[in-house]
Amino acid sequence: DISLLGQIVSWNGKNRTEAYTGDCGLVRGSSDGLFPPGLAATTDSISIFSTDLCRPLKFTRTGKHLVHGIPVEKFELASTNFANTSVCEENTCYSNNIPTGVQNVTQCKAKSPTFVSRPHFHLADPSYGDQFQYGVKDKEEGYDSSFWIEPMSSIPIKVEMRLQLNIMLEKVEGIEYLFKNLQSVMFPVMWFESVAMLPQDMASSLSMLVMMPSVMVGCGVFSMISGLLIMLSLFLCKINREKLKVKICGEKPRVECDYQIVSPGE
């Protein structure tokens, strides 16, 4: 079934993870951004399963664009991906009981206290940024992730991934003399940006690949029309020959227009 192309069935031999409960633990979505042809032209959202987060990431359609002259559909990381239950009830099974905008992936990575968000806590609760006097500054552009997909073939033309790794700093029992006044802080360790795009010199090849079905359909239609015209021409020629024969026979003695097949030797 071509509609299942790229859909991940199992991970590490299992169809669910132990990181989350309920439907949140199911292994589902696309594997490495592979999609069935035509999907990007008909759907409003796509899902990519992330093995680093043990969960799918949902991307929603935001509009049409051009990349190297190729029409593409842009899908951006949905704002509900890292939302808590107060913002998105569907995320209840992720047990994300912290201010919205940060995903707790502690159970995914060897139970280490790890949290993931957009860079600089983009689209997250303002309380995260308010913890710092400088260094953390949200902005409207440049901190999101997206897939730019050619709609007919569903081939990703451009991929942008930007995520931030955070840890929770808390007091440690037994060493209060060092961290006596330490408050719980969601501390950003690093954020990364990964961008991949189709090279300019390969754009023409992809354009030809995308146009190939239309070219084949055009050739088929042209062949059918040409065949019909040839058949019509032969039919009209035959009619004209019959009319010409009747006209000539009408002007000559009947004996000159009668034909008889004579066997050899007669």
pLDDT of the residue at 64: 92
pLDDT of the residue at 210: 73
Mean pLDDT per 10-residue interval, the chain, length 266 residues: 84 88 89 85 91 92 90 93 89 87 86 89 91 81 90 90 90 69 84 90 78 75 85 82 67 53 52
Q: Is the CB of residue 59 less than 8 Å from the CB of residue 47? A: yes
pLDDT of the residue at 178: 64
pTM of the model: 0.76
